[in-house]
Amino acid sequence: MARAARKPYQRLVTYISKTVNFDTPGIGTAATVSIGALPAGCLVLETLVRVRTAFDAGTTNVIKVGTSDDDDEFIEANDLDETGAGLTRSERSAGLVMTADTEVFVTYTQTGTAATAGVADVIVLYIPEVEA
């Protein structure tokens, strides 16, 4: 079921967000764990990922943020260090204007020994409507 886009009545910077864990159900499958939906006409400013607890899979730990059409449109595999706590700001999606309500998803993949820890907050900042 697609999520409805949140549309504030004022043109203020707002956000969609989700806290995910290494073992959030469905986190390893693209277009499964929704952060929320961006409304049509919104202007994306940036995407933030705050790793609260380091992800500890044995070989690789990869967080990606994107849409069902492009799973790393907002955060690509090499954009952040999932193995250490901290905040990463990505302007990869800055300037995108959504032409339709668009659901945003987060994916975490790992290789090597399975992770036993990892918590991150994913936040997409946007302005609800921009003038044409």
Question: Which residues are bridge partners to 124 per DSSP?
Answer: 16, 47
The token pair that represents 100 in the structure block: 């339709």
50-102: pLDDT as tens digits = 999 999 999 999 999 999 999 999 999 999 999 999 999 999 999 999 999 99
| pTM for this predicted structure | 0.90
Distance CA 97, CA 127 (A): 10
88-107: pLDDT as tens digits = 999 999 999 999 999 999 99
User: Rounded to whole angstroms, what are the CA distances from 101 to 21, 40, 59, 67, 98?
Assistant: 26, 4, 36, 11, 7
The mean per-residue pLDDT over the stretch 25-37 comes to 96
Dihedral (Cα; 95, 107, 119, 82), 10-degree rounding: -70
